[in-house]
Amino acid sequence: MNIQFTRHRRLRNSNNLRAMVRETHLRPEDFIYPIFVVEGDNKKNEVPSMPGVYHLSLDLLNQEIEEVISLGVKSVILFGVPDEKDDVGTQAYHDNGIVQRATRQVKETFPELVVVADTCLCQYTDHGHCGIVENGQVLNDPTLDLLARTAISQAKAGADIIAPSNMMDGFVAAIRHGLDEAGFEHIPVMSYAVKYASAFYGPFRDAAHSTPQFGDRKTYQMDPANRDEALREAQSDLEEGADFLIVKPALSYLDIIRDVKNQFNVPIVAYNVSGEYSMIKAAAQNGWVDEKALVMEMLVGMKRAGVDLIITYFAKDAARWIREDQ
């Protein structure tokens, strides 16, 4: 036989050779670990639809953070699950709200840890929507003021990054303006710029008790069928002063991640959401998939698609597996 062809397999001959030509790498510092904090003492309650994810009371929080840090993860995002809810989400912007107290406590003990605050109202409103509701409508502009107040109280508590997730138009501008006026011009905004109205948030809403009590979020979160619109959303958030752009969810939106990465020159973040976590956990518990291999393939796929950072409930596991494999 005397034909000429290219041998791609030459570069796959051994483990070390494959490592040398590998194009994408996962590092523990790529991950942001979500933590749900609750009122009370001595609480570590597993979220039923998210095995391995807990509601933690503040007395047990530092222990959790120590583990996160020991694994090389540099950042957490805090979600509050308050006891008290009302129609305007007062606990979201209360200086003694659960997230504000958690943030103060964590920053006091672990000043180096990068604490991201999720800035939204849905866990704090009795109707479960992300803004002020009037006659069944979620009002845009009146909600902006509450978001800015929430962001300021989070920054005052010591949050290093503000991550607004409620998808009102102008939310980055309102928050940026509020932070600047309050002397927090140095605090970056990580905007959930491209957030789809997704069924993949189901387990989170169990975890955060934030299911809308009527209707859905389709008048403010994006239609999963839309691609061009993602670029418009990202562009306006950047013009309003966003420092990072989040695409959420991640797995069904890798094309969007690549579009945003190609178009905009800021750090891009994927939110590997609750439903994406629960599906893998459930399959793994049944012995149907190899959890470690599947998770690492999924996470490296997100990086290959173009993200710089990944918010993921697998952060601790992935960091451990990276270390194991070194």
Write out the residues near ligand PBG by the rule CB under 6 A. Answer: 118, 120, 122, 130, 165-166, 201, 204-205, 210, 273-274
- C-alpha to C-alpha distance for 28 and 314, rounded to whole angstroms: 11
Between residues 111 and 142, which has the closer beta carbon with respect to ligand PBG?
142
How many residues would you count in the chain? 326
Could you give the 3-state DSSP secondary structure of residue 189? strand
Kind plus residue range of the DSSP H or E element containing 78:
strand 75-81
- C-alpha to C-alpha distance for 115 and 66, rounded to whole angstroms: 14
Between residues 20 and 64, which has the closer beta carbon with respect to ligand PBG?
64
CB of 237 to ligand PBG, least distance (A): 15
Backbone angles phi, psi at 78, to 5 degrees: -100, 135
Between residues 99 and 265, which has the closer beta carbon with respect to ligand PBG?
99
- C-alpha to C-alpha distance for 121 and 137, rounded to whole angstroms: 15
Name the CA dihedral angle for 279, 282, 287, 289, rounded to a multiple of 10 degrees.
Answer: 10
Are 227 and 175 in contact, with CB atoms under 8 Å apart?
Answer: no
Backbone angles phi, psi at 271, to 5 degrees: -100, 105
CB of 162 to ligand PBG, least distance (A): 13
CB of 325 to ligand PBG, least distance (A): 26
Between residues 59 and 278, which has the closer beta carbon with respect to ligand PBG?
278
CB of 129 to ligand PBG, least distance (A): 10
Residues catalogued as catalytic = 195, 248
Backbone angles phi, psi at 40, to 5 degrees: 100, -175
CB of 165 to ligand PBG, least distance (A): 4
CB of 320 to ligand PBG, least distance (A): 21
Q: How, if at all, do strands 244-248 and 268-272 pair?
A: parallel
Angle, alpha carbons 269-55-248 (nearest 5°) = 20
- C-alpha to C-alpha distance for 49 and 90, rounded to whole angstroms: 28
Output the residue with the shortest Cβ distance to ligand PBG. 204
Between residues 109 and 211, which has the closer beta carbon with respect to ligand PBG?
211
- C-alpha to C-alpha distance for 131 and 219, rounded to whole angstroms: 12
Between residues 3 and 212, which has the closer beta carbon with respect to ligand PBG?
212
